[in-house]
Structure 1
Amino acid sequence: MARAAELGRLTVAVIWRRAQLVERRPQNATARTLVFTVPGWPGHLPGQHVDVRLTADDGYQAVRSYSLAAPADGERIELGVQSVPDGEVSPYLADALPVGMDVEVRGPLGNWFVWRPTGGDPVLLVAGGSGIVPLAAMVRAHRASGSDSALSLVYSVRGGDDVWYRDHLDDGHPGLDVRLLYTRKPPPGSIRDPARISAADLADAAAGLRPSSPVYVCGPTGFVETAADLLTGLGRDPATIRTERFG
């Protein structure tokens, strides 16, 4: 029996579809945006993800999940891929899969960690490393929708060279407030010493939220757990905090 994913009022069968790589864009030394065309793609919500399946000549298959990095755009989808040392799939996708070649994708998947451009509540996004990928889709959807809700992003990375989607974060969008946190190597002129995320880093953004405002946290498991604990310590209702983790 086919599984199903609900997309707004539309229910679509979750099946494997052919996806052709049409563009690869670097984000940093090890991170890439991969753009695919997927015939019959039903659309998706910012925050959702897909499964990607690779099949070797001998029939061996490997499946990995990747977040969608952009809002729906017809039959085009964008995935954010971080090449993991000694990884079975990510190094191939990030740097070796030829443009024009096909993989298979299944989705969209996930209906809880999504943002919909409705209502006027301020929104807080908290990202650690490659956890920015689904949040970038929310940032871009927020801009495209013309939403008047305030959007704050607190984004933790090791150093200035590790930032993803800088072109979308530095474009002067008036509804977006971005704070970059550096844990190891801050760029020249940074006024914050390198450190892991703290309550002080979240306090101002959290103070601007309403009781019903959603908060989205994505990143490695330890980062997500720490950020969620800090937010509840600042008085956020755990029911308003949506998390997605990896690793």
Structure 2
Amino acid sequence: MARTAIPGGLSARRAWRSATLADRRPETAQAVTLVLDVPDWPGHVPGQHVDVRLTSEDGYRATRSYSVAAPTDGDALELTVQRVPDGEVSTFLCDDLRRGDTVEVRGPLGGWFVWRPGQPGPVLLVAGGSGVVPLMSMLRARPAGSASPFRLVYSARSPEDLLYREELARRAAENDGVEVGLVFTRSAPEGDRRGVGRLRPEDLTGHGWSVDDAPTCYVCGPTGFVESAAAHLVALGHPPERIRTERFGPSGP
């Protein structure tokens, strides 16, 4: 299968661009989605990320990487940022950035952990905490009626920590080839039969695809979560070459 080129030439992706905050949407008590206007944004492939740079009045600079949350055309870019305790960049973005304020962005970056619309076969998305962000970009890029069915297994600390809760419930209810399985590690909703606990192999077999379905697997979250989930998939018989992983975040769900 021919591979679609990553948007933007190398020099364009390395260039810093001014991005203006156009809107912000609260996702949880600790996370917000930022909608940025970026003139001449080259576009991106679901699963990619960008660098965000802040510069203070005294010239101090801080840079962090954030996954793109939605496959937006044109000059808009959506990032979902979760506040990190004592995090200077995430705290500023979540609490202090206001409409009309500007930051700098660079990208899109990354060419391995991506899903391209039209890519054949079923897809298994395994998310730990804020690792759901790039996977949500993939899910949102999936066209209605696509022949590639998606299954998302999403591990979060509690129902209150779920990102995109209402959208995920709606997509699952539409019965258009998207299924969502939720795993809670610290507190679960009343009536949840599974109970709390970290991701287990049976979560992947119960909510995911069998080895015979030959899905492409995308696993994203904190390092410990990703290593454990990938090990479960390999132990269940999924070929390592069909498992793509992305690690980030300071703590597990």
Q: Same fold by TM (over 0.5)?
A: yes
Gaps of 5+ in 2: none
Matched with 2:177 is 175
Q: Identity of paired residues, percent?
A: 55
- Report matched runs for 1:117-156 at 5 Å: 117-142=117-142, 144=143, 146-156=145-155
TM-score (norm 2): 0.91
1:122 and 1:182 map into 2 onto residues whose CA distance is 25
Report if the CA contact (8 A) 1:7-1:111 is conserved: no
Q: 1:158 to 1:244 in 2, by over 3 A?
A: same
Report if the CA contact (8 A) 1:117-1:145 is conserved: no
Q: State the Cα distance separating 1:201 from its structure 2 match.
A: 0.3
Report if the CA contact (8 A) 2:8-2:42 is conserved: no
Once the two structures are superposed, residues 41-84 of structure 1 have per-residue CA deviations (whole angstroms, 9 ceiling, x without a partner) of 00001100000000100111110000000013210010010111
2:5 equivalent to 1:8 = yes
Once the two structures are superposed, residues 158-197 of structure 1 have per-residue CA deviations (whole angstroms, 9 ceiling, x without a partner) of 1110000112211123211000000111011211110100
Report if the CA contact (8 A) 1:45-1:72 is conserved: no
Q: 1:209 to 1:53 in 2, by over 3 A?
A: farther
3-state DSSP class of the match of 1:168? helix
Q: State the Cα distance separating 1:149 from its structure 2 match.
A: 1.0
Once the two structures are superposed, residues 10-43 of structure 1 have per-residue CA deviations (whole angstroms, 9 ceiling, x without a partner) of 5422210010001111111101101100000000
Gaps of 5+ in 1: 1-5
Q: 1:119 to 1:107 in 2, by over 3 A?
A: closer
Matched with 1:106 is 106
Report if the CA contact (8 A) 2:53-2:103 is conserved: yes
Report if the CA contact (8 A) 1:123-1:209 is conserved: no
Q: 1:167 to 1:73 in 2, by over 3 A?
A: farther
Q: State the Cα distance separating 1:102 from its structure 2 match.
A: 0.5
Give the number of the structure whose residues are more often strand, by fraction. 1
Report if the CA contact (8 A) 2:7-2:45 is conserved: no
3-state DSSP class of the match of 2:221? strand
Report if the CA contact (8 A) 2:69-2:78 is conserved: yes
> Amino acid of the residue matched to residue 168 of structure 2?
L
Matched with 2:229 is 227
> Amino acid of the residue matched to residue 21 of structure 2?
L
